[in-house]
Amino acid sequence: MNRRSGFLAIVGRPNVGKSTLLNKLVGEKISIVSRKAQTTRHRVTGILTRNDAQFVFVDTPGFQKRFTNALNRAMNQSVRQALAEVDVILFVIEAGKFDERDDIVCSLLPEETPVILVVNKTDRIKDKASLFPFLEKVAKKRDFAAIVPISAEKNRQTDELLKVARTYLPHDGLLFAEDELTDKSERFLAAEYIREKLFRLTGDELPYATAVEIEKFEEEGSLRRIFAAIVVDKENHKAMIIGKGGEALKRIATEARQDMERLFAGKVYLEIWVRVRSGWADNERLVKDLGYE
C-alpha cells in the first residue's frame, strides 16, 4: 500500500475540543488544553505516522470576533493562514450546537480544499436520535467531503476519522521523519506547558492577558534548565498568580515541570517569575516579541 501524507488543519470556534482531538490523534500532549476559551494561541503541529499514511495536523486558535486587540488579530490571522496552506480541513463543531460563531468559521473555509465536518462531543448527547436531524441541518451549510461524528475525549470514532481523512491526503511518501511528533521546539512546548497550568490552576478570575516567555533554556546531558517569565497586564494580576506565600506559583511550576519531564524523558530544573507589562495584549510589538505572529 502506498503511504500517503498531507497537512490537515483542525479549525473551529473556541472550546469545541480541537486541541483534545489533536492530542488523541497523535497520542501525546502536543497542544495544551483547558476549559477556558482560546487556550490555544499558536498554530501547533502534531504528526501521526502510520504504515499507510502520515498525518500532519495543524491545531489552530479558535476563531472569534468578540475581541479585537492585537493578540486576537494575530490569532485570527494564524487561522486564515493555516486554511490557505493545508491539504485537508477538519472543521470541528460541538454535537447539537451550531451558532453564528460556527457560521463565521464555515464562511472562511476555502471551496477548493476538502473539508471534513467533525462533530465532536457526541458522548454528551443523551438523546442520540436528536443527532440525526442536527447532522442533516448542518450538512446543508456547505458541500462537505465527509461528516464524521466523534468523541475526542473518549477517543471514539477517531480511527474512522483517520480512515476518511487518508483518502484526501495528496502526497506520496513522508513529509517528516517517522519518529517526529511535532515541528515545535522543546522551548516552545515548555512555555505552552507553563501556560496550560496557569490557565488550569488559577481559576476563572485569571485575566486573559497573560503570556509566558522562556528567557533561558539550557541542556546539560539529559537535564534541562529552564528559566521562564509569566507576563501579566497589571500588578494585582501578579499577586493573583503568585498566591499567598508563593503557593500558587509553586504549584504551577511543579505541575509544569512534571509534564515536561514526561515529554522530554529527562530531569527538568524550572524557575518561574512574574513580570508586569501593561497593555501588552494590545501592543503590536510586544505581541510579536512574545511569539504571536
**What is the tens place of the pLDDT at every residue in 193-225?**
898 888 877 766 565 667 888 899 999 888 999
pLDDT value at residue 219 = 92
User: Which of 113, 88, 125, 98 minimizes the C-alpha distance to 8?
Assistant: 88
Alpha-carbon dihedral of residues 66, 69, 71, 72, nearest 10 degrees?
Answer: 20
- Residue pair 12/183 in contact by the 8 Å Cβ criterion: no
Alpha-carbon dihedral of residues 97, 101, 106, 107, nearest 10 degrees?
Answer: 150
41 or 183: which carries more pLDDT confidence? Answer: 183
Which of 59-63, 134-138, 221-225, 263-267 is predicted least confidently? 59-63
Take residue 86 and report the three cell numbers written for it. 493545508
Can you give 18-72 as a three-state secondary structure string? Answer: HHHHHHHHHCCCCCCCCCCCCCCCCCEEEEEECCCEEEEEEECCCCCCCCCCHHH
pLDDT value at residue 266 = 92
Neighbouring C-beta atoms of residue 196, cutoff 10 Å: 23
- Residue pair 239/205 in contact by the 8 Å Cβ criterion: no
pLDDT value at residue 276 = 86
Which of 50-54, 148-152, 197-201, 219-223 is predicted least confidently? 197-201
Q: Is the pLDDT of residue 161 over 90?
A: yes
Q: Is the pLDDT of residue 282 over 80?
A: no
pLDDT value at residue 34 = 42
Cα–Cα dist 87/97, whole Å = 27
Which of 40-49, 106-115, 166-175, 194-203 is predicted least confidently? 40-49
**Stated pTM of the model:** 0.70
- Residues in CB range of 111: below 8 A, 6 or more apart: none
pLDDT value at residue 54 = 94
Take residue 274 and report the three cell numbers written for it. 512574574
pLDDT value at residue 171 = 86
Among 81-90, 125-134, 145-154, which range has the highest average pLDDT?
145-154
> What would the mean pLDDT of 26-46 be, rounded to a whole number?
59
Q: Is the pLDDT of residue 142 over 80?
A: yes
> What would the mean pLDDT of 113-142 be, rounded to a whole number?
92
Which of 86-90, 150-154, 198-202, 274-278 is predicted least confidently? 198-202
For the chain, list the domains and their CATH numbers.
4-172 (3.40.50.300), 186-289 (3.30.300.20)
Q: Considering the chain, what is the average pLDDT of its residues?
A: 82
